[in-house]
Chain A
């Protein structure tokens, strides 16, 4: 890759919008080109300065009085809605029940469960965030983790080499992936193959939980709802829902997920 090509793609690279192989080419180029590194650092600094300026500007902040006004107004709207629902007559309730049954039947027949899938994914993401906190950060799980070798014997031979698979992930922008540990753990009744890494100086968890049916077709990593104050990115890998959880920024966490997800997907697809 030439310097001009890299600079033309720099914004898309920083936005995490390039395919993995192109990102790898950029990272390889940056390793040997100080000028481009300097240019990219300047662009990163510019974005950070803009973000900081915008989000910390007192001139742009809402007043406390306005914030309270919005909250109160929404409270009134919600209460109005509740009053209406709270005094429905029996025939409306019956009609609603019939409608509900018809809706459920239609959804079963349709055999596409997108809203349910999303809820399921959000619930799994919350479990992943909980496991990150209680296992990787607080070491406060009720059950002691077991080794991946043991998990491989008990559940799936593929788990034995999971640590090595993650270590073979490609380079990720903004730093390396240092593997701190790997094991099999259980949080709140859900099991995870868990690789704990350090990236950009923060502890992050790469979590894979076995699942009968993937809740959403996430062939590339996507942002999931934050949970417990952590950023959560999710992806699927045959028979597993995968998550990357950390307190990195949204884009940094997603970058990390976009690097490890293809490797894990390919690994489980072979399995």
Chain B
């Protein structure tokens, strides 16, 4: 006798739409920013949501769906890039942090285009951290999970080394200050 699970499937799909698919806009923006190519971003996002749907049973309610999606997207991007290039690991970027010019004081009245330009001048790894922290408002712990770097690492170790660890506005402030100078 056939087992009809249509109602269950529709419930799951409704939950997926309400919990996960609602973040399509944000995920696409991040994908497009990081890839710099609309066609590539569309492929990455399509694959990300397809994988998210397949593994939705592993998503834990109560956790941050956006962080979960960003982690999937990072894997998708990583797999697609593996064939021809790899982004440098964050550990290689840490030395660059101190070479980014910083303003003594945070510049005021920076326009949106100026700020996006400044963001674009940062090393790619930093751009991702800044966006996850300042735009997506993920916690340091969530960022560490998305980027698959151990908590306590210099870029996301808020608790142990707050002065050097700030992953958010510090680099962007440096870049913005550099541009404003």
User: Contact check: which of B2, B61, B106, B107 meets A88 at CB < 8 Å?
Assistant: B2
Query: Within 8 Å of chain A (Cβ to Cβ): is B25?
Result: yes
Interchain CB contact under 8 A, B3 and A93: yes
User: Contact check: which of A17, A42, A115, A216 meets B139 at CB < 8 Å?
Assistant: A17
Interchain CB contact under 8 A, A46 and B169: yes
Q: Which residues of A contact B115 (CB under 8 A)?
A: 46, 49-50, 53
Question: Which A-chain residue is minimally distant from B164 (CB atoms)?
Answer: A8
Interchain CB contact under 8 A, A47 and B60: no
User: Contact check: which of B45, B133, B162, B167 meets A18 at CB < 8 Å?
Assistant: B162
- With A49-B110, A87-B2, A249-B137 known to touch, is A82 a contact of B9 (CB < 8 Å)? yes
- With A8-B163, A49-B110 known to touch, is A55 a contact of B21 (CB < 8 Å)? no
Interchain CB contact under 8 A, A85 and B19: no
Binding site secondary structure of chain B: helix
User: Contact check: which of A15, A45, A216 meets B62 at CB < 8 Å?
Assistant: A216
Question: Which A-chain residue is minimally distant from B63 (CB atoms)?
Answer: A118
Chain B interface: which size bin?
Answer: 35 or more
User: Contact check: which of B9, B46, B108, B168 meets A15 at CB < 8 Å?
Assistant: B168
- With A17-B159, A81-B9, A118-B61 known to touch, is A73 a contact of B50 (CB < 8 Å)? yes
Query: Within 8 Å of chain A (Cβ to Cβ): is B153?
Result: no
Interchain CB contact under 8 A, B25 and A62: yes
Interchain CB contact under 8 A, B168 and A78: no
Residues of A204-252 at the interface with B, using a CB-CB cut-off of 8 Å, are 216, 222-225, 234, 249-251
Interchain CB contact under 8 A, A251 and B29: no
In the complex, what distance in Å separates the CA atom of A87 from the CA atom of B180? 64
Interchain CB contact under 8 A, A15 and B158: yes
Total number of residue pairs linking A and B with CB closer than 8 Å? 167
Chain A contact residue count (CB 8 A cutoff) = 63
Q: Which residues of A contact B28 (CB under 8 A)?
A: 60-62, 66
Residues of B40-54 at the interface with A, using a CB-CB cut-off of 8 Å, are 42, 45-46, 49-50, 53-54
- With A42-B105, A61-B28 known to touch, is A225 a contact of B119 (CB < 8 Å)? no
Q: Which residues of B contact A111 (CB under 8 A)?
A: none
In the complex, what distance in Å separates the CA atom of A125 from the CA atom of B61? 11
User: Contact check: which of B26, B42, B133 meets A66 at CB < 8 Å?
Assistant: B42
Q: Which residues of B contact A225 (CB under 8 A)?
A: 19, 61-62, 65
Query: Within 8 Å of chain A (Cβ to Cβ): is B148?
Result: no
Interchain CB contact under 8 A, B60 and A115: yes
In the complex, what distance in Å separates the CA atom of A62 from the CA atom of B42? 8
Nearest CB of B to A173, in Å: 14
Interchain CB contact under 8 A, A46 and B53: no
Residues of B45-76 at the interface with A, using a CB-CB cut-off of 8 Å, are 45-46, 49-50, 53-54, 60-65
In the complex, what distance in Å separates the CA atom of A121 from the CA atom of B60? 11
Query: Within 8 Å of chain A (Cβ to Cβ): is B98?
Result: no
In the complex, what distance in Å separates the CA atom of A40 from the CA atom of B76? 37
Interchain CB contact under 8 A, A43 and B173: yes
Interchain CB contact under 8 A, B168 and A14: yes
Interchain CB contact under 8 A, A17 and B25: no
* Most-contacted residue by chain A among B16, B64, B106 (CB, 10 A): B106
In the complex, what distance in Å separates the CA atom of A12 from the CA atom of B63? 21
Interchain CB contact under 8 A, A54 and B116: yes
Q: Which residues of A contact B126 (CB under 8 A)?
A: none
Q: Which residues of A contact B137 (CB under 8 A)?
A: 249-251
Query: Within 8 Å of chain A (Cβ to Cβ): is B146?
Result: no
* 5 tightest Cβ-Cβ pairs between the two chains A and B: A11-B166, A8-B163, A53-B112, A17-B158, A42-B106
Please name 27 pairs of A and B residues whose Cβ atoms are closer than 8 Å in the assembled complex, sorted by A.
A9-B162, A11-B167, A11-B168, A14-B169, A15-B139, A15-B158, A15-B168, A17-B158, A43-B173, A46-B110, A49-B112, A51-B135, A54-B116, A54-B135, A55-B29, A57-B29, A61-B25, A70-B24, A77-B50, A77-B53, A78-B13, A82-B9, A85-B3, A93-B3, A114-B60, A118-B60, A250-B137
| Interface residues, chain A, with chain B CB atoms under 8 Å away | 5, 8-12, 14-19, 39, 42-43, 45-47, 49-55, 57, 60-62, 66-67, 69-71, 73-75, 77-78, 81-82, 85-88, 90, 93, 114-115, 118-119, 121-122, 125, 216, 222-225, 234, 249-251
